[in-house]
Structure 1
Amino acid sequence: MKLKAIVAAVMGAVIATSAVAKDNSEFKLGFSVPQLANPWFVGVKLGMEKACNELGIKCISIDAQYRVDKQVSDIENMINDKFDAIFTTAIDANALIQTFEDAKKAGIATGSIAQVVPNSHLLYGMDEYNYGHAIGTQAAQWAKKKLNCKGKVALITEDNVEAVKRRGDGIEAAIKEVCPTMQIVARQAGDNPESGMKIIEAVLQQHPDLNLVIGSNDSGGIGGYQAMFSNDKVGDDKAVFSGDATKEALALIAEEGSIYRGTVDLYPFKGGYESAKYLYEMATKGLPAEPKKVFLPYVPVPQEDVISGKYKPAY
């Protein structure tokens, strides 16, 4: 009887421990965001929050303000605070490898999206060059049709982020393939609308006849559009293209007479939503021996599809 009592007590403790472990209200998922000034990351955040609400878990987003040291520190704090799962878009993937290794040793599920950390449990990645090529191709096809491949183009890229340089290369390659006679007058890094605006305002000082602005993301593209609009650079021979299909860019594309003529959907909401679900499953059912690899899809979104309603945004 004594042995049975001991077994019963142990089993009761196990059940109680399992119940605590399965209490979703205590589960914490952290997202280290490079910068919330970029609308794409807001989309990822919104997707994550929807998944967290469905699961009944806590989700916390922290803005790294595009500082590598802060991103590392933020994730270290999540580890010390015993988060159950952590994911990020890396500003500098190499700087996070050891930090993610520490998280994994602590039994924390790790993930990264877009610009991935190679030792993450979840690698929700993308092909930067091909994505850039899709952005550039849509813009170049417009230039071929409307400008007969004549005129000037400025590129707002993310060359300040090592992993994203190839996106700019893809844009530039597409321009040269489809419209080799177009003159590329600038290629500069712009991470947000403010920097994108400053870049194009400066370009317009030297090239007031600028026809085309291409942003490697909507964040820079929005700034480029604002600069063109405020300097009265509008009309049939002007255009702005970018990538990410954020709600901010889509709203500008839909405006009457807008020269914002297209974007490319990289599905940030879907990426954030699915990342949260994958990481929750890993943290609760067991960490994988090998990383799970998923790729962000992308599809061109021309202005006519936005105006007609053919394109349906995810959020």
Structure 2
Amino acid sequence: MNHAQLFTVLFDVFCPLAAGYFLRHRKWMTLAQCNGMMLFNVVVLITVMNLLSFWILPLQGDLLLLPLLSLLTAFLSAGMMAPLCRHQSFVDQGTLVVAAMLANIGTLAGICGYILYGELSFAYVQLFAVPQNILMVVLAFPLAQYYAARGSSVGGKAPLQFNLRELLFTPKQLGVVGMLIGLELQLFQVERPGFVTDFFRMLVHIQAWIAFTPVGYTIDFHRAFRYLRQAAGLLPIRFLLVPLLLYGASSLVVTDPVILGTIFLAASAPVAINAVITAQLFHLNVDLAVAAFLETTLFYVAVLFPLAYSFFRQG
């Protein structure tokens, strides 16, 4: 992997994280502006990028496997993590299980897939990421509530109420609409303008900054550093066991090397910021969730992606 490409990934991930942290401590950004940036990312940028990338997505049977593999990745990761952390407090157990389940597929794996293979890989990653929001609501939230209740001295008799319909059908799901529009344009063989390729390349970097800057604004780095050792148990699961299992199984039925490489990148994606949000909502260990997010993100960008890049490029 050449130094310029590695620098691009590092720059697009850690510089906006640092920028968000700086903006918060300088009080140059308000919480409302931070939330607005998050909403702009998921409602506007992701929708547009999904539309443009799915516009040139080849319609083939292998692609139907990607959402199913995403679910399998989440179940395997959480299932492996649960027995490994059973000696810890219930609150910490819940935090680690949720962190293992929710991965930063759409943004970070999308950037890395784009650098390795181009726009098609970005589209494949978005297909892989489709189940993530649903998983967060229908599985991660109840699990977090269960562990929080078990760790509570009052037995969790007043569970947090949330409206499933409102969580599933919100503007945050517009990215799926972008996918469907792009697929329809592909189906009807509408030619995509040539300038879109350069425009998409620019959007990849803009979207990374818009996505990660609010993350840097909202987390407390200093408190999270105390939990790095505890969060390290996620590393062999997220970056070795699960991606190798998924890649090996997929290679038996998938022949396209771009899809196979993308499956590996997506299956090894680091902990998502949604794990931190879930920990906040259900009173789990937020600092441990932040530590898991930071540690796995650093490992993915600095270690796993360069190794994957070298392996798949040589292959």
- Determine which structure has more spread, i.e. the larger CA radius of gyration: 1
Instruction: Normalising by structure 2, report the TM-score.
Output: 0.28
Query: Going by fraction, where is strand more abundant, 1 or 2?
Result: 1
Query: Going by fraction, where is helix more abundant, 1 or 2?
Result: 2
